[in-house]
Chain A
Amino acid sequence: MPSYLETTVDKFIFRVATDRHYSPEGVWALAEGDRIRIGLTDFLQQLNGDVAFAEVKPEGTLLGPGDEVALIETIKTNVGVPSPVGGTVAEVNPAMELSPEAINQDPYGEGWLALIDAPDWTTDRDALLDPEAYFELMTSQAEEESKKL
């Protein structure tokens, strides 16, 4: 179980897991041996609302950093999810087919999107944010959102 950085804006509590890296777009990347597990941050899933459908690129898909790895449809919007790393989709979370609400319920755990074989992880990681840096970015984004009415 990771530990979390946490902030509250109005009644919304946003958490950032401290054991992984983040793209500025709000996608996390967790190294597991040779593979990188990816998913949406707590802020991004709260911002976009309840996930109705999650379509993740199938196994074998070749991606560059920033290429769309998933399309998430929520009640509010459709969100194209850019991959934080380059590589090949090795595994797609089977829960995304029938229970994509896992993204909302457990964004850093059961709600993972895909496992990526990322041969250039060291390079890709340098372009990502550490938890503290993402936490600062996310907090300012959350506060900006709370002002939009």
Chain B
Amino acid sequence: MIVPCSGIGKTYGTVSREAAFEVIEDLRPGSTQLVALSLLVLGDEEARAAVGTSPTVTIDGCKLGCAEKMVRESGGGIYRSFAVLDTYRRHRDLKPDGIAELNEGGLQLAHALADEVVATVDDLLAGDEAVPHA
């Protein structure tokens, strides 16, 4: 399960959303599913069942960590948490801008983050016990 924050106040939120879409639509369409954070927090049974039974990866925009925090509080087991800000620190040349529409730097950053998420998804699918959990 992939849970992005999709925050609307900063460009990071849009990067989190774009990265999540890239994972579930392009990179690992058959083995990942997106869960809307607000449905989960508001008690949607399907959303809660999804994060309760499947390993979950959260993608937050910034270090406020809303998705990570709320998935934990909703009883979900987080396999790994990502923050766009951390990915940006590893790719300083990909400066994102824009909330409604990402600039080229933002799209590239989302792509880099999606690759990082996919590496974790592949570890999960391979059943690699050595991969550290968040």
| Among listed A25-33, A48-56, A83-91, A138-146, interface-contacting one | A48-56
Given contacts A50-B10, A53-B89, contact A75 B63 (CB under 8 A): no
Q: Is the CB of B89 within 8 A of A75?
A: no
Q: Is the CB of A104 within 8 A of B63?
A: yes
A85 to chain B, nearest CB (A): 29
Give Cα distance in the complex from A38 to B78, angstroms.
37
Number of contact residues on B: which range applies? 10 to 19
Q: Is the pair A101, B63 in contact by a Cβ cutoff of 8 Å?
A: yes
Interfacial residues of chain B within 67-97, with CB under 8 A of chain A in the complex: 85, 88-89, 92, 95-96
Known: A75-B10, A75-B12. A52 touches B85 (CB 8 A): yes
Is the pair B89, A50 in contact by a Cβ cutoff of 8 Å? no
Residue in B12, B92, B95 whose beta carbon sits within 8 Å of that of A50 in the complex: B12
Enumerate chain A residues within 8 angstroms of B12, measured Cβ to Cβ.
50, 75
B residues 91-107 touching A (CB-CB < 8 Å): 92, 95-96
Q: What chain A residues lie within 8 Å of B63 (beta carbons)?
A: 50, 101, 104-105
Expressed in whole angstroms, the minimum distance between the Cβ of A146 and any Cβ of chain B is 15
A118 to B88, CA, bound (A): 36
Chain A residues within an 8 Å CB radius of B92: 52-53
User: What residues of B have a CB within 8 angstroms of the CB of A49 in the complex?
Assistant: 10
The answer on a CB contact under 8 Å between A52 and B10 is no
Minimum C-beta distance from A107 to chain B (A): 13
Q: How far is the CA of A36 from the CA of B2 in the complex (A)?
A: 45
Instruction: Offer 18 A-B interface pairs, CB within 8 angstroms, sorted by A.
Output: A49-B10, A50-B12, A50-B63, A50-B85, A52-B89, A52-B92, A53-B89, A53-B92, A75-B10, A75-B11, A75-B12, A75-B85, A75-B88, A75-B95, A75-B96, A101-B62, A101-B85, A104-B63
Interface residues of A (CB under 8 A from B): 49-50, 52-53, 75, 101, 104-105
- Given contact pairs A75-B95, A104-B63, a sample of 18 additional A-B residue pairs in the complex whose CB atoms are under 8 Å apart: A49-B10, A50-B10, A50-B12, A50-B62, A50-B85, A52-B85, A52-B88, A52-B89, A52-B92, A53-B89, A75-B10, A75-B11, A75-B12, A75-B85, A75-B96, A101-B62, A101-B85, A105-B63
